[in-house]
Amino acid sequence: MKKLTLTASAALIAAAGSASAADLVLGVPNWPAANATSNILKIVIEENFGLEVELQNGTNPIIFEAMDAGSMHLHPEVWLPNQANLHNTYVQENQTVVANMNPVQAVQGMCVTKYTADTYGITSINDLTDPDKMAVFDKDGNGQPEVWIGAPGWASTVIEQIRAKSYGYDQVMDLQQYDGTVAWGELGAAANADEPWMGFCYEPHFIFVAYDLVYLDEPAHDPATWTIVQPTDDPDWLAKSEASTAWNGAKLHLHYAANIRDNFPEVAAMLDNYAMPPEVLSEAGFELSVNDVPVEEYAKNWVANNEDVVLGWLTGE
């Protein structure tokens, strides 16, 4: 399939939104915790404000463009600094999107199972440039080991590609991008079979509940070593980018369309008060991805069992 331009994609979303009778359309990015959060907020808004809410799947850029156009109204989990280019454009410059200021602290980087670290001595980011150590990840026997660096469309995937170039392991490893659910399925299979696994990790995430994982050692974050250019901003982004130290601590912020403040000010106040306990995100991912709980069921049960948290969003107390 040919790729749609961001503008064309946003136009399609805008057209879909204009044909919908929903009062609000909440974006659903392609990872479990964000899916759970959007479903939880749908229930809270419908039950407490009497509005009709729809959910719509979308990538980070498309959800932001649609919020800018007014055809979608919320992104449940924006990772910063991963999506700083989108945040800067729509929150700071256009002022069409508002960022909630009660973030969840996050960690991200390359990690291995503890079995892999202990058995094969893979504990440092520098090990990724050692062909002898990395040979254990040559699953297809073509002479080049493979490593998952994230899903297509994730800003972190772009940055992991930059980090691989900066550390030099792009010369040793085949950097693979595919859906996170596939990668986590591979992780589970490897962990259960005592086989090696390595890939991009982030938390809060259910994989840290389900498996014994350790991050690879690397130099502490130094902002002077980080210059990130996104592919959407420059076709020569990789050559112009550098990231040769660890990630800085990330934060997860809910973002919503600024027009909610005019159209539904009570909802905007609730979204400003929104603060999700970080353990919920890991738990949600575990229930949806490992226990196969339907997201609608999980969200309904979570709201029913966490009235005190929801009340805090509604009252600001």
pLDDT tens, per residue, the chain with 317 residues: 223 334 444 444 444 444 457 999 999 998 899 999 999 999 999 999 999 999 999 999 999 999 999 999 999 999 998 899 999 999 999 999 999 999 999 999 999 999 999 999 999 999 999 999 999 999 889 999 999 999 998 889 999 999 999 999 999 999 999 999 899 999 999 999 999 999 999 999 999 989 999 999 999 999 999 999 989 889 999 999 999 999 998 899 999 999 999 999 999 999 999 999 889 999 999 999 889 999 999 999 999 999 999 999 999 98
Longest alpha-carbon distance in the chain: 61
Q: Is the fold of 6-103+251-315 the same as that of 106-243?
A: yes
> Could you count the other beta carbons within 10 Å of the beta carbon of residue 5?
9
CATH architecture of 6-103+251-315: 3-Layer(aba) Sandwich (3.40)
Contacts of 29 (CB under 8 A, 6+ apart): 35, 57, 58, 59, 60, 63, 75, 76, 77
Give the three-class secondary structure for 84.
Answer: helix
Task: Quote the pTM value.
Answer: 0.78
How many alpha carbons fall within 13 Å on the CB side of residue 96?
Answer: 15
Amino acid at 112: V
Tokens of 79: 């990772």
Q: Does domain 106-243 have CATH number 3.40.190.100?
A: yes
Domain segments of the chain as ranges: 6-103+251-315, 106-243
